[in-house]
Amino acid sequence: MTQSGRGSSGPSRKRLPIRQRRQLLLLLLAVVLIVVAAVIGILVAMDRRQSETQEPISTTLSEQEGQLSTPSSTEGISEPESTSSEPTSSEPTSSKPSGGQVGNYPTQDWNLILINKQNLLPEDYTVDLVTVSGGQRVDARIVEPLTDMLNAARQAGYSGVYVMSGYRTPALSQALIDKEVQIRVNQGMDEQAAYEEVIQAIAPPYTSEHNAGIAVDIYAPSYSVYGFSPALENQADYSWFKEHCAEYGFILRYPKDKVAVTQYQFEPWHFRYVGQEAAQAIMSQGICLEEYLGQA
């Protein structure tokens, strides 16, 4: 009897050639990579959308003078509050810088008061303050044009704009300087050199327009990306404020090409109220307040 069928294992499987197997593996790998890339793209888009809808986080300035706060839940205005620029006993004491003249103003118009390192704000200067969008306080006399400017910016498509720094006491100005000077001293810088560097960005007490409540630092969406940087100048939201601020009586107070005159660095976020007539003249001529008042 023959044994011819004993070693048979059924029909044999036909294996793909090595070249085809490699092509199939590459195809499967490509599909996996496409799926992973799509998932990553979706996650990034969701994270970006969430970050755009979140309110900016409240923080304290370190490199610039001021204090940021998140917008208040309402856009309304509180009743005026009479206050003095004199710090209360609970605030840090401030020292008046030497070299400037108190009240040496070329005009009696409150909106054109010149406040800089040569023209100091009197210690007894008082101002009626009103709380505006963002929770900051400003001189009651600039509330209406300021609110109109912010609303116009929002209508132009720049939602989320608000005042991130308005009125501040001379004591706060001094505290900010002290903090920044100490940081530099801790890093090995000479104290006097540190002070000279800091006051190029932070106005000493009584030399800051914020002490009078007539200047504001504006928050716009691109600030969340660039922070306090000259790069804000080229962003659409801050460009809008530069282009339209004069319509509401405000000026870009510290222009890039006027550092030698103002003695402060370029600040595309800092706007000062001077009234429509003066603002139109200053912005259209490309000059600063010192030049307009003949004090350059």
- Boundaries of every domain in the chain: 21-54, 57-292
Helix (H, G, I), strand (E, B) or coil at 227: coil
- Which of the four pLDDT bands, split at 50, 70 and 90, describes residue 18? confident
259: exposed, middle or buried (C-beta count within 10 Å: 0-12, 13-18, 19+)?
A: middle
Residue 267 annotated in active site: yes
| b/e sequence 201-226, b meaning 16+ C-beta within 10 Å | bbbbbbbbbbbbbbbbbbbbbbbeeb
Asked if residue 68 has pLDDT above 60, the reply is no
Whether the model pTM is above 0.75: no
Alpha-helical runs (H) found in the chain? 18-53, 143-155, 170-186, 191-198, 223-226, 236-244, 259-262, 276-285, 289-292
More confident of the two residues 194 and 84: 194
Q: What average pLDDT does range 92-100 have in this prediction?
A: 48
- pLDDT single digits (tens) 105-127: 556 789 999 999 999 999 899 99
Question: What pLDDT was estimated at residue 11?
Answer: 54
- pLDDT single digits (tens) 41-53: 776 666 555 443 3
User: β-strand 250-252 against 215-219: which pairing, if any?
Assistant: unpaired
User: Quick one: which of 203, 204, 235 has its CA closest to 218?
Assistant: 235
Residue 46: CB atoms within 10 A of its CB come to 10
Asked if residue 56 has pLDDT above 50, the reply is no
Question: What pLDDT was estimated at residue 229?
Answer: 72
More confident of the two residues 166 and 78: 166
Asked if residue 160 has pLDDT above 70, the reply is yes
191: exposed, middle or buried (C-beta count within 10 Å: 0-12, 13-18, 19+)?
A: exposed
Asked if residue 95 has pLDDT above 60, the reply is no
Asked if residue 146 has pLDDT above 90, the reply is yes
| Annotated catalytic residue within 65, 180, 209, 267 | 267
Asked if residue 38 has pLDDT above 90, the reply is no
User: Quick one: which of 287, 276, 132, 148 has its CA closest to 216?
Assistant: 132
Tell me what percent of the residues of the chain surpass a pLDDT of 90: 50
Tell me which of 13-22, 114-123, 124-133 is least confident: 13-22
Structure tokens at 96: 């008046």
Asked if residue 88 has pLDDT above 70, the reply is no
- Which of the four pLDDT bands, split at 50, 70 and 90, describes residue 187? very high
User: Quick one: which of 127, 132, 201, 140 has its CA closest to 163?
Assistant: 132
Residue type, 12: S
Residue type, 125: Y
Tell me which of 73-87, 248-262, 267-281 is least confident: 73-87
Question: What pLDDT was estimated at residue 114?
Answer: 95
User: Quick one: which of 133, 116, 282, 125 has its CA closest to 218?
Assistant: 133
- Which of the four pLDDT bands, split at 50, 70 and 90, describes residue 202? confident
32: exposed, middle or buried (C-beta count within 10 Å: 0-12, 13-18, 19+)?
A: exposed
Q: What average pLDDT does range 96-108 have in this prediction?
A: 57
Decide: 232 and 268 in contact? Cβ < 8 Å: yes
Q: How far apart are CA 71 and CA 191, in angstroms?
A: 36
CATH topology for the 57-292 domain: Muramoyl-pentapeptide Carboxypeptidase; domain 2 (3.30.1380)
